[in-house]
Chains A and B, each alone.
Chain A
Amino acid sequence: MTIAEQNLIEFRGVSWGTNGGSSPQIIADVSLAVARGSTLVLLGRSGSGKTTLLKLINGMHWPSNGEVLVEGRATREWDAIRLRRGIGYVIQEAGLFPHFTVAENVALVPTLENWPKEKIAARVKEMLRLVGLEPGEFAQRRPRELSGGQRQRVGVARALAADPPILLMDEPFGALDPVTRAELQGEFKALAERLGKTIVFVTHDLREALVLASHIILLERGRVVASAGPEEFLRLQHPEVLAFAACLGVGSGAT
């Protein structure tokens, strides 16, 4: 296997700023690689550039300098629509379409890809069961008829529906109560391992990072300041790592 095949996602000296990089940089000279089937957690405070970094992967932003490679190919060379349909995306408020039923939401990308009807229907059922929602009970509901946790489950099902190799998740469990959050984290970790997806997960919660990550990258003002596996991470002496570690047990994610 070549390096490019091992690393499904790779950043090479990537910078990004509004105004094509002339204004202060939001992302400064980031290099990283995400191995196939692993979960990279991007940790950092609000405004550290985590979400921007995520959006550089699916072509919602394009690097001002350097390049982002997905499956060995620079994102600039991808057709943005094709690139995005091959990458699942889950955000904090789930971003479900309020005018669609749960089933229609989950079926979104398969529908855009013109899958045959029966295949879509079967896939929707399969995905709902996968995230712990009984299709008979939930398929025809609207997002407003779901709890926060159920909405996030649907968000995950929608992201997985077209079986993309990559999942991007931007604080998907951030708005949930601590108990529901812990449940979803545990279930999601098991699910991710079973499906072998490559995941980039954004959070400001170190506890969540330690639970989910195969590797943690800590961002501070657009730069990578720490990079380690979950076991070594707490042993790092960088001040920003210590600041995050100090919050363990008292932070919002602690239960």
Chain B
Amino acid sequence: MTGLWSFMVEHESEILSATLEHVELVLIAMATAILIGVPLGMLIVRRAKLRALALGIAGIFQTIPSLALFGFLIPIPFIGGIGKRTAIVALTLYALLPILRNTYVGLTEIDPAVLESAEAMGMTQAQILFRVRFPLGLAVILAGVRTATIITIGVATIAAAIGAGGLGTFIFRGVALVNDSLLLAGAIPAALLAILADFLLGRLERRLRVT
């Protein structure tokens, strides 16, 4: 353990920059997934056909093993290739299902009496969506964001395999060189990131829950 500690102190700046790189990958992918997933989730509340299609496609992306998904993307022009961009596209696709599904569930699983009176009081569908469904479903939507964030932090370690950088770089190098300190210098910060994100988003989620 002292070996690990001195290794980490020695390579502090490298570990730090890999961590920042990792966080950057996750943040860009999550922001994109939220920008796509939440509006799409709102859109499918009242459109059954689109709902089946969107949830189906998002489900397929989520089912493909992560390394295979990176592999599929590499040959695709513009979004593919080796590097960050491909990784971000893959991470976004991965994060999409939990966000989309939780947005849909959060917006639809609302006390029917509340929705009935909203409609009967003369609220338009848009008003019901933004002033009733959205605030009441926010905690569930955020739970989806939390799940997606944790998945993304994990999958982002694999992104190093296609040259996207991040904490996975240490892990892969550590495995290749049979160097535990190198491996753990990537694995420990990645695990801590996931635990921290889970804790913070969980707290926010509880605060937003309306009872």
Chain A positions near chain B (C-beta within 8 angstroms) = 58, 60, 80-87, 89, 91-99, 108-109, 112, 144, 155, 158, 168
Contacts and interface: CB of A to CB of B under 8 A. Distances in A.
A96 to B, nearest CB: 8
A41 B210 CA distance: 35
A81 B124 contact: yes
B36 interface: no
Interface residues of B, number: 18
B127 A60 contact: no
Contact of B118 (A58, A97, A168): A97
B122 A95 contact: no
A44 B211 CA distance: 34
B119 A84 contact: yes
B113 A91 contact: yes
B139 to A, nearest CB: 11
Interface string B107-141: 00001011011111111100100001001100000
Contact of A91 (B116, B127, B211): B116
Interface of B: 111, 113-114, 116-124, 127, 132, 135-136, 210-211
B124 A95 contact: no
B114 A97 contact: yes
A111 B118 CA distance: 13
A108 B116 contact: no
Closest 6 CB pairs of A and B: A95-B117, A84-B122, A85-B122, A89-B120, A95-B113, A93-B113
Given A82-B122, A96-B114, A96-B117, 18 more contacts: A81-B122, A81-B123, A81-B124, A85-B121, A87-B120, A89-B117, A89-B120, A89-B121, A91-B116, A94-B117, A95-B113, A95-B114, A97-B136, A98-B210, A98-B211, A99-B135, A99-B210, A112-B127
A94 B210 contact: no
A103 B119 CA distance: 19
30 contacts: A58-B120, A60-B116, A60-B119, A60-B120, A81-B123, A82-B122, A84-B120, A84-B122, A85-B122, A87-B120, A89-B117, A89-B121, A94-B117, A95-B113, A95-B116, A95-B117, A97-B132, A97-B136, A98-B111, A98-B211, A99-B135, A99-B136, A99-B210, A108-B121, A109-B122, A112-B123, A112-B127, A144-B211, A155-B117, A158-B121
